Structure 1
Amino acid sequence: MIGAGRVAVLTGAGISTASGIPDFRGPQGVWTKNPAAQALFDIDEYVASRQVRVEAWKHRLSAPAWTAEPNAGHLALVELERQGRLTGLVTQNVDGLHQKAGSSPELVHELHGTVWYVDCLDCGRRVPMADVLPRLESGEEDPACEVCGGVLKSATVSFGQSLDRAVLDRAVAATEAADVFVAIGTSLQVYPAAGLCDIALSLGKPLIIVNAEPTPYDEQATTILSTPIETTLPALFDL
């Protein structure tokens, strides 16, 4: 469907559901099934409440991201890059599956950070998540920074935290450089990620949405596809 031309892509949780990672807002989403779970993703709640942190670490310890494998949707984006047609792969996901599939790290712009690292909210030290998970397995419920004793948190952007400006700037540049903008598996309800659609539309670029549920941008989209992402993307990009 999309032949020659340069493509900017925005992905959300929907691209990873076929890999066994649940989304947030869909019918079977984490927050749909358990609205209280949203507190685990709020920075003020996280810092203020040890119990929230304990629950958050339980959630991380059992996260499907540790064993999930990329699906055909991820691999289609690797092929798009191999053809030299991808200006940038902007993602709201923190699971690292794009890189695991083979997408070049320099083209993957993780707007909401990554679950594969842990930050100290006090001294700023960053360590691999693999260094912290064994502490949880040995019985620590709310592991503290081993340098300053501060609060540890996965290197993801929670509600109330600011996005990395450099990452956002690269996402905007990738959008501006493309001939078409494709939003995949995202509800397009979270900003500034959804705002990339506004940038694309303001520049007259076609907007293609691949998502199971309706989005606020459907009326402005050139094409809307609600079929499974893992089977839709190879055909969409004529791979």
Structure 2
Amino acid sequence: MRVSVPGIPQAILDAKHDLSIKSISEATKRLAEFIGGANVTLLTGAGVSVDSGIRAYRGEDGRYMNPNYKPIFYHELMDSTEKGQAYRRRYWLYFLILSRKQNAQKLHSRLRSYLGYPSVRDALPNTTHFSLAALQHTSHISHIITQNVDGLHHKALRNSASLSGAAARLQDNILELHGTLHRVHCSSGHKVDRDTFQDWLSAANPEWRQYAEDLERTGTQPRTNPDGDVAIEHLGISYSNFVIPECPQCMLGDHINPVHKPGVIFFGESIPSATKERSFREVEASDKFLIMGTTLATYSAFRLVKHALELKKPIMLLNVGPTRADGLPGVEKIDVPSGAVMRQVAKEVIGTRAGMDPVIIEMLESGTENPPPPDDDDRAPRAAG
């Protein structure tokens, strides 16, 4: 089976597009004009989570720009043979080791939201997440379609104490296009929350739990592969004795099933038809389509842009660096980071209410600013097998 990692066509990377807005003041003005008075559907990608300490996939330092990058594909993780079991041992062992780390800053410097659960679990919403939550609260943004699996859009709403019962309603308007890291399911479809599964891993592997505690005590961090995997062979140890727990619900039916995967869409795995159809409906229901923090390299995202263009929706794209939509007629590009503008954009769009409504005031005063350190370069070669 041949599965490839989606990327930006080389012709786009080689082209020189000079139509992007790069000024912070002009970007703020244009975004406020675009969002104000409209029913906007928003598509977000990894770029909006960078200030939460989760590095973007592509861009200048993105791991998908590394030619040595080899992720774990869906068919590999779900393979019922010993080869698939080896992939799963290494994959889940990584999370058991990293889950023992309490220093979120160290985790964030090594990981990314696609697979790195421990860092995602501990990550905090940044100023962009809270600004977007404020625009959800005021109904300027009616729906968010996110490619991110970190749950930070949801967390920004849950962490807004003044929002009270409205948070659940607003969270229902967030569609996780590529799933979430916060749930796990077995190959038969039985679901469990991720923290519970983490406890199962620890209970089934006391020796590895001790090893993880030793790493934590000494401050040692194994070098990770770009797909959220961990390379430990160079340490002289093997993960062949790592135990993946069986699904307890399958065991009730006299079926032994240790095949588990996180609730994210892996490369080579199809997005559920209901999710795809809902994403199209939300684009159709909007007046305008705003895209933020994504290169649109995956077709699941890019086809939404194509659909919006077919419907002649106004489209604005906020992203640093090249994207798959660069140069497309009908797409206005702003080349600045979301964290540099979105708080001010929200204030301008919301107007006087931003200084009077306690919910909005709280949101626009909230948000971490914790970008990954610049010296952690994911383009360096990594072991890939």
TM-score, normalized by length of structure 2? 0.57
Instruction: Summarize deviations over 1:107-133 as a string: whole Å, max 9, x none.
Output: 110111110000111x21001001111
Match of residue 297 from structure 2? 189
Letter in 1 for 2:122: T
Q: Contact 1:209–1:218 at 8 Å: present in 2 too?
A: no
Q: Which is worse superposed, 64-73 or 50-59?
A: 50-59
Aligned to 1:233: 342
> How far does the alpha carbon of each residue in 1:19-44 deviate from its partner, in whole angstroms, 9 at most, with x for none?
01122223332344584441x2x111
Alpha-carbon shift at residue 236 of structure 1 (Å): 4.1
Which is further off, 59-68 or 10-19?
Answer: 59-68
2:248 paired with 1:146? yes
Local SS of the residue matching 1:93: coil
Report the 3-state secondary structure (helix = DSSP H, G, I; strand = E; otherwise coil) of the residue aligned with 1:219: coil
1:211 aligns with 2:319: yes
Q: 1:152 to 1:31 in 2, by over 3 A?
A: same
- Give the 5 Å matches for 1:128-167: 128-138=193-203, 139=205, 140-148=242-250, 149-150=256-257, 151-167=259-275
Amino acid at match of 1:116: H
The answer to whether 1:124 aligns with 2:186 is no
User: In structure 1, the residue corresponding to 2:55 is in which secondary structure?
Assistant: coil
Deviation at 1:172, TM superposition (A): 1.2
Q: Secondary structure at the match of 1:208?
A: strand
Amino acid at match of 1:53: R
Distance in 2 separating the partners of 1:144 and 1:14: 36
The CA distance in 1 between the partners of 2:177 and 2:296, in whole Å, is: 13
> Partner residue of 2:367?
none
Partner of residue 5, structure 1: 38
* Aligned pairs (5 A) from 1:73-88: 73-88=128-143
Give 1:170 deviation, angstroms: 1.9
Q: Does 1:30 align with 2:63?
A: yes
Name whichever of 104-113 and 29-38 sits farther off. Answer: 29-38
- For residue 153 of structure 1, report the CA deviation from its aligned partner: 0.5
Q: CA deviation at 1:198?
A: 0.9
Residues 177 and 160 of structure 1, relative CA distance in 2, 3 Å threshold: same
Question: What displacement does 1:80 show?
Answer: 1.1
Corresponding residue number in structure 1 for 2:87: 52
- Tell me which amino acid in the other structure corresponds to 1:44: H
Q: Which letter maps to 2:194? A: M
| Counterpart-to-counterpart distance in 2, 1:147 and 1:231 | 47
Structure 1 residue runs without a partner (length 5+): none
Q: How far is 1:50 from its partner?
A: 2.2
SS in 2 for 1:95: coil
Residues 163 and 218 (structure 1), Cα distance of their counterparts in 2 relative to 1, 3 Å cut: same
Structure 2 stretches lacking a partner, 5+ long: 1-31, 99-115, 158-166, 206-241, 251-255, 350-385
Which of the pair has the greater relative contact order for Cα pairs under 8 Å at 6+ separation? 2
Alignment partner for residue 287 of structure 2, among 179, 185, 199? 179
Aligned length: 236
Greater CA drift, 148-157 or 226-235: 226-235
Structure 1 window deviating more from structure 2 (73-82 vs 218-227): it is 218-227
Query: Secondary structure at 1:154's aligned position in 2?
Result: strand
**Contact 2:63–2:69 (CA<8 Å) still a contact in 1?**
no
Which of the numbers 109, 115, 126 marks the counterpart of 2:175?
Answer: 109
Q: Deviations over 1:147-184 (max 9, x none)?
A: 32320000111122221222222221111111211111
Q: Residues 59, 9 of structure 1: CA spacing in aligned structure 2 closer, same or farther, 3 A cutoff?
A: farther
Which of the pair has more CA radius of gyration? 2
8 Å CA contact 1:135–1:143 kept in 2: the answer is yes
Give the 3 Å change call, closer, same or farther, for CA 101–34 of structure 1 in structure 2: farther
Q: What is the distance in 1 between the residues matched to 2:324 and 2:277?
A: 23
In 2, are the aligned partners of 1:87 and 1:175 still within 8 Å (CA)? no
Q: Cα offset for 1:98?
A: 0.5
Distance between the aligned counterparts of 2:85 and 2:67, measured in 1?
Answer: 20
